[in-house]
Amino acid sequence: MDWKISNDSITYPEALAFMDERVAAIHAGQAAECVWLLEHPPLYTGGTSARDSGLLQARFPVYASGRGGQYTYHGPGQRVAYVMMDLKKRQSTPDLKKYVWSLEEWIIRTLAVFEIKGERRCGRVGIWVVCPDGTEKKIAAIGVRVRHWITLHGIAINVNPDLSHFEGIVPCGIAEHGVTSMAALGHGVDMAALDEVLRSHADVLTAA
């Protein structure tokens, strides 16, 4: 498994092009699997289930995405992890639900290191936290696609983004719950430190 970490902001088209090329190379047996950790400039992406009503205000560039799900936001202060992994190699029988579970578990175990309790919610994609005021908010998003049983896209953890940027969309189509970040919960985290923890807990992915 190759690990690629970008310190510079990566445009969405650049990321899509890299994933397409890498997945094709993995399928051809010409490249190793890859996890790419990066940040995007402010932008919105619409998944395959995106509805016009989910885009409230196009404050930033909007891109169509082949991943599952509805609208989401990416921007500075959010750690995106794109995972390009061969499920036929990793699983005796390729199972997308099991893979999504492993992504959730990866986030949950990573957040736990920083004393944040991330939780799954039935019917709600992503990882959620119970805030001090008792409300539930999303702290991490998940969106995946597979091609030849090789994964594309991945996860996005809100480390310290401008949360007002989420106001231009209905995040993942869920209007009744808001979003939060590690910083908003009182956990200031250096991106490099988060990367180190993500890498140390990635065994849950390769054991998928």
**Three-class SS state of 117:** coil
For the sheet containing 43-46, what is the strand order?
A: 62-64, 43-46, 71-74
**Total residues belonging to the chain:** 208
Dist CA 19 CA 155 (whole Å)? 14
Q: Is 172 a catalytic residue?
A: yes
Q: Among all chains, which residue has been given the structure tokens 């009744």?
A: 176
What does the DSSP assignment read for 151-199? EEEEEEEESS--GGGGGGB-GGG--SSEE--TTTTT----HHHHHHHHH
Distance from chain centroid for Cα 55:
19
Quickly list H helices, the chain. Answer: 12-27, 87-90, 96-113, 191-200, 203-206
Q: Can you tell me the distance from the alpha carbon of 57 to that of 33, in angstroms, rounded to the nearest whole number?
A: 37
Residues acting as catalytic residues: 172
